[in-house]
Amino acid sequence: MIAPSGAGCGRSGFDFSGIIRNRTNCGSRKGSLQEKKDMNIIVVKDYNEMSYQAAQLIAEQITKKRKSVLGLATGSTPEGMYKELINLNQGDKVDFSEVITFNLDEYYGLPPEHPQSYYFFMWNNFFKHVNIKKENIHLLNGISENIDKECAQYEALIKKSGGIDLQVLGIGNNGHIGFNEPDISLNTKTHLVNLTAKTIRANSRFFLIPLRKCPNKPLLWG
């Protein structure tokens, strides 16, 4: 876990960002937590150093395993990390040609071309700038006609890929991980969830529309 010193990184309301390694069974969702391991907390001086350190951890993972399966997150907190990774890729320091990615969540009801969809975010802030293959990119479809089927297929794809080798996460102001609010079970599968009023309000600044019209449900991993 990488955390800026002080009360917060001053970016998107996230207090810190986390990277979890070797979640090799996360695609199976067997209903039991993984073996407990000590958490390595890296305290850095500011947002820029956090972004650099996070990018280095991902680059190290890809160097060790060219066909790494990465779990990725969105929001303004990881923007700096993605810029660092783009620089590494364009400088021939890291190769994404065999990397497989799964994104953590997507707003329910937003089409991919919507400027606040996470599909749009990932393509504009990362994917189109690196040498990753389109067929290796996986994002949830927020406008699927069958949400239950969409979630089940996403679970199956993660499992087929062998699980997540390294996961990028953000922690929200109220303790939500991704969009999993604090009172949601730790062992749920990919699902549709209702956001709390506090989380909707925190994210409303991205939409510039009345609060009541902001998305209030996302699809996300358990």
Catalytic residue flag (residue 181): yes
- 60 is a catalytic site residue: no
Single-letter amino acid, residue 72 = L
Check 124, 174, 187, 194 and give the catalytic one. Answer: 174
Q: Is 124 a catalytic residue?
A: no
Judge whether 95 counts as a catalytic residue: no
State the catalytic residue, choosing from 105, 106, 155, 165.
Answer: 105
b/e sequence 187-208, b meaning 16+ C-beta within 10 Å: eeebbebebbeebbebbbeebe
β-strand partners of 69: 100
Catalytically annotated residue among 176, 180, 203, 216: 176
Gap between the Cα atoms of 158 and 164, Å rounded: 7
Length of the chain: 222
Q: Beta partners for 191? A: 220
Catalytic residue among 15, 49, 79, 181: 181
Residues labelled catalytic: 105, 174, 176, 181
